[in-house]
Structure 1
Amino acid sequence: MIPIEIIEKYDAVRRFYKKSEIIFEKDSFATHYYQIISGSVKMNNFNDEGREFIQGFFTVHQCFGEPPLFLERTYPANAEAVEDSELICVSKPNFLKLIAENPSVSIIMIKNLAQRLHYKSVMAAEISTEDSEHRLLQLFDYSITYFNFKKEQEGFHIDLTRQQMGDLTGLRVETVIRTIKTLEKKSEVKIVNRKVYR
């Protein structure tokens, strides 16, 4: 994402968040640009029954929650630290100044937003039309690229819990567990020490 040395020129501050700490809440107005130095963050919503739906996970060097900075809108989801995390933040006016004064950063932001929009489009289509096997395989394949999962001896480790897989695909945890076992029998995935590999 944006090189830290550029962000720091625009009165950026570093903030630390403990695991499960809320960074911002749904329907609040966007005031800062956030980029992850260490740790990870998820953006989520809850339905009327209290079930969580994860909009996405974000890790080191990624940013999150920036679309409302350009739209004068509120956040469409909550942001929560998945683990202890350090973020670098810059106020909205300074972020917009940064973008205006650094055309190369504008290209980075456009690519990032386009990738995220592509992910949302793909997953929306999968959730509305495809069976559980297809949904999970699409999630795994996209996540390998988007979350930069590392290839290990057994393959790409899908570093998501069964609950997170369900929250990202709209499936119940029980369905995720059954489907992964089916995919293993079909040699689509490997399970080693309860870890899923693609």
Structure 2
Amino acid sequence: MIPTAILETYHPILKTFSKDEIIFNEAEIPRYYYQLKSGKVKMFNLTEDGKEFTQGFFEKNTSFGEPPLFGSFAYPASAMCIEDCELYVLDKKVFINLLKAHPDIHLKFTKQLCNRMLYKAKIMKELSIHPPEHRILTLLHHLKDSANAEGLFEVKLTRQQISDLTGLRVETVIRAVKQLEKTEKLILKQRKVYI
């Protein structure tokens, strides 16, 4: 994410999007850098039969959709607001110039992209060979590691969001979470998950 003070010197447009509004669609050519000032966004794919697979969730003070800007390829997923959002929108050329002028920010993006690639690799492995409990634990540990959290970590995802990110049915997630609590691999407090 680009610090707001630096981003604003490049004159981004501050756009408002409503809940359920599409920001960009899969296969579109990227033209802008997007950074959330407020709200929450999900990136997802739809299968031919209309089933949705969520690639990730992005919240206030984060950015999304950068790999196609760097790689000059079409968006591999769609992005939609799941709450009303305010987004800083910066033209691709201006974004690239900002990164050239601020190599420290460029390096942070490189690290962030590597972390996202690691997450994708973990999830692909989980989806192909592991049972539900293992998939869920891998996701939760990745979230905790990404947050650099020590001690007990509150998972700020709903059961539906865990389902969307792991390709499992919500009912399966609920059963698996209860099983993981029984085996003391996670903690449930007031319907919240901790790891």
Return the match for 2:170 from 169, 173, 190.
Answer: 173
1:105 and 2:128 matched: no
Q: Map of 1:46-57 to 2, 5 A cutoff?
A: 46-57=46-57
Other-structure match for 2:35? 35
SS of the residue corresponding to residue 10 of structure 1 reads coil
Give identity over the alignment, percent: 43
Letter in 1 for 2:3: P
Deviation at 1:109, TM superposition (A): 1.1
Indicate conservation of the 8 Å contact 1:149/1:156, yes or no. Answer: no
Deviation at 1:10, TM superposition (A): 1.7
Cα RMSD after superposing both structures: 1.8
TM-score by length of 1: 0.92
1:85 and 2:82 matched: no
Distance 1:162 1:46 in 2: 20
Distance 2:58 2:47 in 1: 22
Deviation at 1:145, TM superposition (A): 3.4
Other-structure match for 2:194? 197
Distance 1:18 1:173 in 2: 26
Other-structure match for 1:22? 22
Counting matched residue pairs gives 195
1:45 to 1:163, Cα distance in 2 relative to 1, 3 A: same
Contiguous gaps of at least 5 residues in structure 2: none
SS of the residue corresponding to residue 117 of structure 1 reads helix
Moved over 3 A (4+): 148-152
Letter in 1 for 2:55: Q
TM-score by length of 2: 0.93
Distance 1:159 1:105 in 2: 27
